[in-house]
């Protein structure tokens, strides 16, 4: 078994042994959402992927500082010089103040992530809260000669930068091809070169979100905030930078360029990119309208969603694929995962009730646990981990049926690791989620099951079926087994 963590680094395009700069500390920056509307399921997938990564690093004993930004500056609809920004546009549509839009969708974002069991980051900085840092960064870049000011806007000089550094290291592009392949977009007259990107944009007369700067009133460029904030909280070089695959170019490439221009070193050792969630074989996308909202799945919103799915089933569905592969959403795939998840969940409950047997069976619990660990250490391979967990499900069920027994040591290893991986690593539930409400329900259900049992012993099928059918209509399913009946809420 390997005790070492290997990570697929997008920068080098290979799996590499993870060596943090200052162990046991790890710095991880993940690009967060632009809060001008609801996060969709594809956005959520990325945050769940990095939640898994964060959890595993923590389980390995690292002290992770996890920084994830909120983009609350109104960036323009496109790269043109004029135009309305997204947040202002939304504010106009909803008849709210721009900062109300930002607050509203930030709150919604937190709500969604909480429901889908993502652990909050250590620091969640906002772009508007770091204007000073961003302006400072622009100053440095200007002073080193890698940017130029035109009419109250500042642009990054990509061509100049490429004379000293390798523009395109991350995305594997070369600047000549980019130069020859660029399209002429309207409203980019100020740029010396189409590849140049804005560090600071002058605010037009009607632009609402604006801040003073040495170059006049305006707002920062999109790529800038991540550079400024990651440096502020994680240093000029840090361990992990993550985000969706679609941010690789130009966003992350520009981040690297800004950072190298300002600090003369590479900002990040390990770049991790989560792959896209697709719908109908196409990437989910806000702007294309090809998306599903997280709560559409939990509510069972027609016509796309056939029935309500629990957030944990959705999370499990995503974890059954590797974060680096595309995953296609379909109701067939989701309901398959839903069933699988329930089976796993039941085994997690059942393992607590198993008592050790006198004789050990041939199950090598330690080897099994090692396999689980190796799976996660191999670039956070949650699908392999889940396959191992289902091996354990078989063992648990065999023990439950008294067809097999484990000795005390085997059982302890099995139990501890099942709980570790299910709760802490995959984040599939809160172990302490039993509330006074559920205790109350447990008590009531035990009484009802007792009454039904008595009726069945009297062969009073009318009563026993009435209980079963009525509960069924409340989405409580009675399961008659060999050793009595159990119940489960179907949601």
Partner RNA sequence: GGUCCUGUGGCCGAGUGGCUAGGCAGAGGUCUGCAAAACCUUUUACAGCGGUUCGAAUCCGCUCGGGACCUCCA
For RNA, the binding residue among 282, 434, 484, 489 (CB under 7 A) is 282
169 vs 441 by CB, closer to RNA: 169
- Closest CB to RNA among 435 and 459? 459
CA distance 188 to 236: 32
Tell me if residue 366 falls in helix, strand or coil. Answer: helix
Q: 1 or 440: whose CB is closer to RNA?
A: 1
* 405 part of the interface to RNA, by CB under 7 A: no
Which residues, 80 to 99, sit near RNA by CB under 7 A? 86
Q: Which residues of 335-355 are buried (b: 16+ CB within 10 A; e: fewer)?
A: eebbebbbebbbbbeebeebe
Side by side, the strands of the sheet bearing 327-329 are 282-283, 277-279, 327-329
33 near RNA, judged by CB under 7 A = yes
Structure tokens at 294: 């997280």
Site stretch for RNA (CB under 7 A), options 148-156, 230-238, 258-266, 323-331: 323-331
Residues 185-204 that bind RNA (CB under 7 A): 185, 194, 197
CA–CA separation, 165 and 142 (whole Å): 16
Q: Which is nearer to RNA, 144 or 449 (CB)?
A: 449
- If one counts every other C-beta atom within 10 angstroms of the C-beta of residue 314, the result is 24
Whole-number Å distance between alpha carbons of 419 and 348: 7
Q: Which of 278, 361, 366, 424 binds RNA (CB under 7 A)?
A: 278
Within residues 329-358, the interface with RNA by CB under 7 A covers: 330, 332-333, 335-337, 339-340, 342-343, 346-347
Q: Which one of 58-66, 114-122, 360-368, 458-466 is the stretch in contact with RNA (CB under 7 A)? A: 458-466
Residue carrying the six token digits 């699988």? 340
Looking at the Cβ atoms of 14 and 163, the one nearer to RNA is: 14
- When asked if residue 481 is in the footprint of RNA (CB under 7 A), the reply is yes
Nearest to RNA of 133, 225 (CB atom): 225
Residue of the chain from 4, 82, 177, 416 that contacts RNA (CB under 7 A): 177
Mask for 115-154, x = binds RNA (CB under 7 A): ----------------------------------------
Q: Which is nearer to RNA, 30 or 413 (CB)?
A: 30
Q: Which position among 381, 419, 448, 476 is part of the footprint of RNA (CB under 7 A)?
A: 381
Query: Does 287 participate in binding RNA (rule CB under 7 A)?
Result: yes
- Window 460 to 479, contacts with RNA (CB under 7 A): 461, 464-465, 468, 477-479
Shortest distance, position 474 Cβ to RNA, whole Å:
15
Provide the minimum distance between the beta carbon of 393 and RNA in the complex, in angstroms, as a whole number.
7
Token pair of 326 as six digits: 């595309």
Cα maximum dimension of the chain: 91
361 belongs to the binding site for RNA (CB under 7 A): no
The sign of the torsion formed by the CA atoms of 426, 431, 436, 439 equals positive
Nearer to RNA, 182 or 470 (CB): 182
As beta bridge partners, residue 150 has 153
| b/e 123-141 (16+ beta carbons within 10 angstroms → b) | eebbbbebbebbbebbbeb
Instruction: Note whether 245 binds RNA by CB under 7 A.
Output: yes
First-to-final CA distance of the chain: 39
Would you count residue 172 as binding RNA (CB under 7 A)?
yes
Write out the two tokens for 134: 């961003």
Residue 97 burial (C-beta neighbours within 10 Å; 0-12, 13-18, 19+): exposed
As measured in angstroms, the least distance from the Cβ of 81 to RNA is: 12
* Listed ranges 17-25, 244-252, 355-363, 426-434: which one lies at the site for RNA (CB under 7 A): 244-252
Choose which of 11, 73, 229, 386 interacts with RNA (CB under 7 A). Answer: 386
Rg (CA), the chain: 27
| List of residues 6+ apart from 42 with CB closer than 8 A | 244, 276, 277, 279, 283, 284, 285, 291
Instruction: Tell which positions 422-451 bind RNA, by CB under 7 A.
Output: none
Which H or E element spans position 197? strand 197-202
Binding-residue total with RNA (CB under 7 A): 92
């Amino acid at each position: 078994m390997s005790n070492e963590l290997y990570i697929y680094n997008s920068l080098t395009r290979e799996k590499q042994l993870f060596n943090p700069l200052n162990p046991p500390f790890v710095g991880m920056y993940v690009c967060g959402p632009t809060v001008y509307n609801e996060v969709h399921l594809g956005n959520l997938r990325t945050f769940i992927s990095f939640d898994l990564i964060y959890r595993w690093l923590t389980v390995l004993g690292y002290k992770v500082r996890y920084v994830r930004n909120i983009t609350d500056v109104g960036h323009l609809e496109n790269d043109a010089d004029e135009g309305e920004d997204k947040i202002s546009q939304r504010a106009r549509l909803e008849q709210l103040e721009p900062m109300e839009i930002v607050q509203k969708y930030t709150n919604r974002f937190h709500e969604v992530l909480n429901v889908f069991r993502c652990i909050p980051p250590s620091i969640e900085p906002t772009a508007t809260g770091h204007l000073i840092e961003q302006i400072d960064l622009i100053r440095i870049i200007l002073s080193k000669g890698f940017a130029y000011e035109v009419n109250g806007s500042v642009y990054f000089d990509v061509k100049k930068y490429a004379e000293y550094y390798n523009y395109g290291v991350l995305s594997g592009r070369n600047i000549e091809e980019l130069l020859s392949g660029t399209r002429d977009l309207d409203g980019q007259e100020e740029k010396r070169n189409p590849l140049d990107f804005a560090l600071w944009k002058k605010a037009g007369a009607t632009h609402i979100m604006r801040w003073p700067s040495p170059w006049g009133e305006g707002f920062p460029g999109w790529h800038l905030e991540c550079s400024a904030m990651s440096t502020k909280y994680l240093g000029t070089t840090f361990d992990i930078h993550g985000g969706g695959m679609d941010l690789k170019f130009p966003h992350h490439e520009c981040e690297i360029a800004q950072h190298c221009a300002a600090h003369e070193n590479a900002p990040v050792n390990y770049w991790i990119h989560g792959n896209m969630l697709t719908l109908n074989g196409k990437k989910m996308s806000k702007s294309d309208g090809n998306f599903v909202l997280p709560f559409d799945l939990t509510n069972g919103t027609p016509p796309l969603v056939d029935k309500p799915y629990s957030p944990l089933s959705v999370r499990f569905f995503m974890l059954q694929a590797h974060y680096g592969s595309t995953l296609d959403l379909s109701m067939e795939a989701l309901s398959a995962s839903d069933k699988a998840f329930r089976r796993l969940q039941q085994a997690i409950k059942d393992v607590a009730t198993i008592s050790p047997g006198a004789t050990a069976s041939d199950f090598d619990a330690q080897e099994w646990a090692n396999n689980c660990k190796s799976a996660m250490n191999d670039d956070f391979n949650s699908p392999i981990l889940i396959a191992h967990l289902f091996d354990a499900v078989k063992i648990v069920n065999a023990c439950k049926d008294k067809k097999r027994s484990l000795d005390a040591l085997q059982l302890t290893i099995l139990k501890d690791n099942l709980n570790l991986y299910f709760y802490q690593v995959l984040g599939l539930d809160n172990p302490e989620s039993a509330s006074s409400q559920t205790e109350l329900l447990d008590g009531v259900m035990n009484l009802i099951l007792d009454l039904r049992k008595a009726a069945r012993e009297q062969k009073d099928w009318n009563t026993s079926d009435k209980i079963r059918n009525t509960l069924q209509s409340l989405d409580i399913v009675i399961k008659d087994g060999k050793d009595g009946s159990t119940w489960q809420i179907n949601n």
